[in-house]
Amino acid sequence: MRKVDPEKFEARKQQILAAAITCFTRKGFHGTSTAEICAEAGMSPGNLFHYYPTKQAIIAAIVEQDRRETAAYFAQIDQSRDLFDEILKFMDIVLELAADPAYSSLALEISAEAMRDKEIAALVSAYDAEMQASLSVMLRDAASRGQIDATLDPVETARWVAALIDGIFGRIAVDPGFHPLEQQANLHLLLTRFLRPGAKGAGKAAREQTVKA
């Protein structure tokens, strides 16, 4: 067997992923053949096989990459800041990603694929559980510092924050009138009222408050 330079190997894998994402965004998973991915990446089909044995393996790698990026995002959060603000900031990023047609169509393709493929479903669930756990820790810490309502159960509340994330992508799929970047104030209002009822910004005059946030 030929010796493989791990750095070159990794770079080539990244290049294939980028090419695959371009193809998937253009034509969906089912509409894209591995031959097209090879053409986009400028390599031969026989060569692709060394990096990813199947199209499913490429999809799995995309989920894994997104999971790593989300984990890295949670890891870099400045714990000295108001964690409620940090949750709002995270949700703003979700809105930005949802507003990116390439990201959102890929995310929706992955959800649909998870319905058909048990391995992809397991990866997506593991990613979701990890994200929910990170949110849950943030909510617990925020509650213990008085930054959000301490009577909320952090685990169950994280579930509903995750449900809102699902809902944002769900809206993208079915509702052409849902423009994520125009929904920031509404989402902040909902989260402020839910997570810190009675706080400044949670009342009836919250609209202007949240628009500038």
Distance CA 108, CA 75 (A): 26
Question: Which residue number, 17 or 157, has a Cβ lying nearer to a second copy?
Answer: 157
Closest contact distance (angstroms) between CB of 189 and a second copy is 8
Q: How far is the CB of 49 from a second copy (least distance, A)?
A: 26
Note every long-range contact of 139-145, with CB atoms under 8 Å and residues 24 or more positions apart, other chains counting: 139/83, 139/87, 139/195, 141/79, 141/83, 142/82, 142/83, 142/84, 142/87, 142/195, 145/83
Name the residue nearer to a second copy (CB basis): 19 or 114. 114
Closest approach of a second copy to the CB of residue 193, in Å:
5
Please tell me the number of Cα atoms within 13 Å of 161 on its side-chain side. 32
Closest CB to a second copy among 30 and 89?
30
CB of 149 to a second copy, least distance (A): 6
Q: How far is CA 13 from the centre of its chain?
A: 21
- 60 vs 11, 101, 145, CA distance in Å? 17, 20, 38
Q: Which is nearer to a second copy, 45 or 197 (CB)?
A: 197
Instruction: Note the residues at the interface with a second copy (CB under 8 A).
Output: 28, 30, 108-109, 111-112, 114-116, 121, 124-125, 128-129, 132, 149, 151, 153, 156-157, 159-160, 162-171, 173-178, 183, 186-187, 189-190, 193-194, 197-198, 202-207
Q: Min. distance of Cβ 10 from a second copy in angstroms?
A: 28
**H or E element at residue 135:** helix 118-144
Residue closer to a second copy, measured from CB, 86 or 149: 149
Closest Cα to residue 62, out of 23, 9, 101, 35? 23
